[in-house]
Every structure is written in C-alpha cells, then in structure tokens.
Structure 1
Amino acid sequence: MSQHNISGKKVAFLLTDGVEQVELTSPWNAVKEAGGVPTLVSPKTGQLQGYNGTEKGQKFTVDLAAGQADAADFHALVIPGGVVNADHLRVDKDAQAFTRAFFEQHKPVASICHGPWMLIDAGVIRGRNVTSYHTLQTDLRNAGANWTDQEVVVDQGLVTSRNPHDLPAFNAKLLEEIAEGEHAGQTA
C-alpha cells in the first residue's frame, strides 16, 4: 500500500493501441491501491490492444473518448509509453489539447518511456527537466527540454521515467505529486 493517500482523486490515463502494457497496468494499480480513481482516455473508442514488447498482450476498454474528456474533471494525467502508442497518440489533436490543459491547470502529469513524445506535440516541454526512453533524448532536447538519463525526474508536478524497470520509482513519485496537488510551476 502506498504511503500517499489519494482517495477519490480522478486520474486520466491517456493512450491508444500499442501501449506498453505494464506501463499502463502498474501505475493504474498503484493509483487504485492508493484510493485514486483511474479512467482510460483515448482518441479511439471500444478496446485497445496492449503489448508486452513486440508481443500482443491484453485488451483494455476505453472509458472516455479524448475529444469528450475535460482536464477539469481530473486531478492528474498519466501518459504510458509503447512506441506505437506514443507515435499515434502524439499526432491526435484532441489528445494534444487534453494533455496541454493539465499543464494550463497546473495539475500533475506523469509520462514514461516513449510517452514524453506527447509533451513535445502538446507544446509543454520547453525548459522542463525530463527523462524518457533514451532514443527520445534528441527529440526532447530539440524541443527545448533539459533531458537527463535518470530513473525518475520530477519538475514542478511533471514526472518522467525511462522504461518499465523504473516503474517502482515512477509510481511512487506519481502518487506523491497527485497527493501534493496543483503546482504553480506546472505551466504550458
């Protein structure tokens, strides 16, 4: 059980087909165990295909379409990775707007592995301290981020990690930032 109680706090998980399954299920379970209420938001409706690396994993049911989602209804946002998931998600205008709204409302956002690609296309990464899967470092730096190779980086409510091996640290910081609430430095 988490040391952080986030009872009743609503957490949006933004993803699509190709999500790295454990990067969804591990933080999702951490949020639930800490008393939070996770919601799966996607540009796609119906079911999404998760992956374990390159192998198909579970399917997940979408709770809310990104075009109908309102950041004001949530306390935090989680953007899992997976190359296909992140690449398709980052070009969706509704997903971009939804992500950007969390920064505009100073709410915690957590993104792991390839997930930070969304932060580039949402226009919220310039000047921020982040990490990610190592292949994204040039993209993030070119977008104005300060990229470092660390297990987890926290910058004013923005939590980022590199890969599934970092999930324990990622989940702990995600819950800590949700418990702390809004951060004045979390801006678009």
Structure 2
Amino acid sequence: MTQSLQGKRVAIVAADGFEESELSSPRKALQDAGVEVDIVTPDGKDIRAWAETDWGDTYPASKSLDAASMNDYHGLVLPGGLFNPDALRTNETALALVKEFFHAGKPVAAICHAPWILINAEVVDGRRLTSVPSISQDLKNAGAKWVDEPVVVDSGLVSSRTPKDLDAFNAKLLEELAEGRHQGQHA
C-alpha cells in the first residue's frame, strides 16, 4: 500500500451502461494501492456494464447518490461508456455531487464520454482536458481546451480518451489522489 494513499476513499459514480473496463480497471488500481472504493449509483441498486459490444457483468452498488457525500471521499471517478454518462448528465443529484468535488478541490477523474457529465455540471470552462473525440466539440462549446492526448491533468482534473489509455489514466488518478486537494481545482 502506498503510504500517501493509506486511509483514502474514492467514489466511482456510475449508472447502467458504463464501459466495463473504465470502472473495473480504475477500481482495481485504486484497491491495489490500498484505497477504499465505493460504487455509487443513482438509486443504490446494482448496475450492469457495457463490455465493448454487448452487456457485461453486474456490479454491486455501495450506496445511492442521495446517500453519498463529498465529505466521505478523497476523490471521484466517472467512467464513460455511452449510456452511463448520458443518464448521469441529466441527474441533478449527480451533477451537484460533481460540483461539490470541484468546489472542495478534490481530484476528479473522467474518461471517454464521462466529460459530458462535467459539461452539465458546468465545471469545464477554461479547463484543459481530453475525451473520446466524438464529444470534443461539446467540450469546446462549453469552454474547455480540448486536446487529443492519452491523459491530461489540470489541477486535480484527470481525463483520458478511451480504454486504451487506462494505464496512463490510472497512474495519474493515483498520483493526483496522493497529492490531495488542489487549489487550482475549481468549478
């Protein structure tokens, strides 16, 4: 266990249709580093993954969005996929939780289509980040500085494009989590 990660706790917020590797890989990296991980779902019920081309495994929920508090966590992970971020970007409780993490300066990591959630939470204006290329224009329209790189870090905000970037994404997630709060992290 990494000393700087001892006692840390991270929320992974997801709904049905998250890209399976974009939840399972960061969760494993966090757990391997000694971080406690909760899967937070809209209603506290288990969620089903999308595994590239078809439905994947079901993942047990730790708690509902209503029961989750930013104060209980040191960081937030938002997996992508197509269905998951599309559902969460219209969920006011999810958006409020995302905003709380940004206001508190805590690390937030988003991959693939998950920056859609960040757009609706109104936290990307002026921020440098990446995503799956198909939503790059959405991010630019929201004021983000979009770049096509495997992983981008902007004051505690970690972003990556696709599952092929998970190794870099996980490494930066752990690094930012170890650093803790970021003064430059803002909504």
**TM-score normalised to structure 1 length:** 0.97
Does the 8 A contact of 2:126 with 2:143 survive in 1?
A: yes
C-alpha contact 2:9 2:37 (8 A) present in aligned 1: yes
What residue in structure 2 maps to residue 21 of structure 1? 20
Per-residue displacement from partner, 1:101-158 (whole Å, max 9, x unpaired)? 0000000000000011100011111000000000010000000000000000000000
Contact 1:4 1:175 in 2 (8 A): no
Retained in 2: the 8 A contact 1:5–1:34? no
Q: 1:37 aligns to what?
A: 36
Give the structure 1 partner of residue 105 of structure 2: 106
Shift of 1:44: 2.6
Please state how far the C-alpha of 1:5 moved relative to its aligned partner.
4.4
Q: Look up the match of 2:88.
A: 89
Q: Tell me which residue corresponds to 2:183.
A: 184
Specify every segment of 5 or more residues in structure 1 that has no aligned partner in the other structure, as ranges: none
Aligned residue identity for 1:22: S
Whether the aligned pair in 1 keeps the contact of 2:105 and 2:184 (CA below 8 Å) is: yes
Aligned to 1:135: 134
Q: CA, structure 1 residues 4+113, in 2 after alignment: closer, same or farther (shift >3 Å)?
A: farther
Q: CA deviation at 1:77?
A: 0.2
Say which is worse superposed, 44-53 or 104-113, in terms of deviation. 44-53
Give SS of 2:106's match.
coil
Structure 1 runs of 4+ with >3 Å offset = none
Q: Deviations for 1:151-178, whole angstroms, at most 9, x for unmatched residues? A: 0000000000000000000000000000
Q: Does the CA contact (< 8 Å) of 2:44 and 2:65 recur in 1?
A: no
Give matches, 1:27-176, under 5 Å: 27-176=26-175
Given that 1:13 and 1:40 are in contact with CA atoms closer than 8 Å, whether structure 2 keeps it comes out as: yes
For the residue of structure 1 that corresponds to 2:153, the secondary structure is strand
RMSD: 1.1
1:51-77 deviation line (CA, Å, top 9, x unaligned): 111211110111111122110110000
- Name the TM-score, length of structure 2 as normaliser: 0.97
Partners in 2 of 1:67 and 1:150 — Cα distance? 34
Residues in 2 aligned to 1:149 and 1:46: alpha-carbon distance in whole angstroms: 35
Deviates more, 1:3-12 or 1:106-115: 3-12
CA contact (8 A) 1:42 1:95 kept: no
- Percent of aligned pairs sharing the same letter: 47
Give the equivalent residue in structure 2 for 1:11.
Answer: 10
Name the SS of the counterpart of 2:5 in structure 1. Answer: coil
Stretch of structure 1 that moved more, 171-180 or 62-71:
62-71
**How far 1:6 sits from its partner (Å)?**
1.0
